[in-house]
Amino acid sequence: MSLKYFQANAPLDKVLGAIKKDGAAIVTDAASETNRASFASELAPYLKHTPFGRDHFTGRKTRRTGALIARMPSSHDFVMDERVLRLAKDFLKPFTEKITLHLSQATTIYPDENAQLMHRDRFAWGTHIPQSIEPQFNTLWAITDFTEENGATRIAPGSQEWSWEREAKTNEIIQAEMPRGSVLLYTGSVIHGGGKNTSKNPRIGLNLTYCLAWLRQQENQFLSCPPRLAKNLNEELQELVGYTQGTYGLGYFSDPERVAEKFDLMAPELALGRGPRHRAQFNSDQLSKVEDK
């Protein structure tokens, strides 16, 4: 029992096949040393002020730092990685027209932290989504090496196919060891959890997850990255964060301070000072009203 490892230039259909079969796969050398080092540098000043977790699940010796899109420009390269986005879209496309960024979080596990409770990330929505629908595609980038000693993520391969009541036994769990710059790709349904850190150094991972655009995001991106900050992102990242409609009628807004002359139902892009790329019914009059505020 093991996870499959792939080089960064591996055919994506083979990587996707492994993810569907085992619930997870690892791509090595996925991030350049420059990108990894830039993220570690940008994280450092926030990390020392991030509180430890409030309970056993979040980790009393684990720091979880969010709002990465607004705080750390280097995170954008990870979020927009072309290979990851292609895999995420292909994996989730049976159930959605678009995907959205579900979570951006740096997870730092410190020495003497205990192993996290094994869980399925999809339970953020409870058990209300049928098991036949996979709502989530996850990535965990190794900013430092992930080893057995420093708390490499534990995974039960194949558990995405198990009944929700079944728990993973010790002999069904492995650790996703990987060198820094690698990325662990895993589904929202596979059972997993952070490992126990018995080393003398913290283990830093960059957790970026994607979900069906018609679901509520775990991290409220409109508060973590409000319009005054999101307007400076490139258009594709703006839409991935959530500043676009998930479907024809999902996600519009109305200006709370004035009434539009022609249409009062406006696309989220207008809050950023631009029109939607694919929605002709929202016109330039609306755009000028938002820009004039």
| Phi and psi at residue 163, to the nearest 5° | -65, 155
The stretch 250-273 carries a mean pLDDT of 83
Over pLDDT 90: what percentage of the chain?
A: 84
pLDDT at 158 over 90: yes
Distance CA 156, CA 158 (A): 6
Each residue's pLDDT tens digit, 26-41: 999 999 999 999 999 9
Whether the per-residue pLDDT at 286 is higher than 70: the answer is: no
CB contact at 8 A, 95 and 215: no
- Pair type for strands 24-27 and 5-6: parallel
Going by their DSSP bridges, the two strands 5-6 and 174-175 should be labelled as: unpaired
Distance CA 197, CA 287 (A): 51
| pLDDT for 164 beyond 60 | yes
pLDDT of residue 249: 84
Query: What's the whole-model pTM score?
Result: 0.92
Q: What is the pLDDT of residue 262?
A: 64
Of 70-79, 179-188, 252-261, the one with minimum mean pLDDT is 252-261
Q: Model confidence at 251, in pLDDT bands (50, 70, 90)?
A: very high
Q: Which candidate, 12, 40, 38, 42, places its Cα nearest to that of 27? A: 12
DSSP 180: T
**What is the structure's pLDDT at 281?**
39
Q: What percent of the chain has pLDDT over 70?
A: 93
Assigned token pair, 206:
């960059």
Query: Contact 274/124 with Cβ under 8 angstroms?
Result: no
Would you state the pLDDT for residue 261? 62
Residue 280 has pLDDT above 80, yes or no: no
6 contacts 28 by C-beta, under 8 angstroms: yes
Question: pLDDT tens for residues 11-67?
Answer: 999 999 999 999 999 999 999 999 999 999 999 999 989 999 999 999 999 999 999
Q: How far is it, in rounded angstroms, from Cα 108 to Cα 184? A: 16
d(CA 203, CA 237): 27
> Which pLDDT score is estimated for 259?
73
- The answer to which of 104-118, 146-160, 213-227, 255-269 has the lowest mean pLDDT is 255-269
Closest to 127 in 3D by CA, of 161, 164, 159: 164
pLDDT at residue number 278: 58
Taken in order of first residue, the domains within the chain and their CATH numbers are 5-219 (2.60.120.620), 223-291 (no CATH)
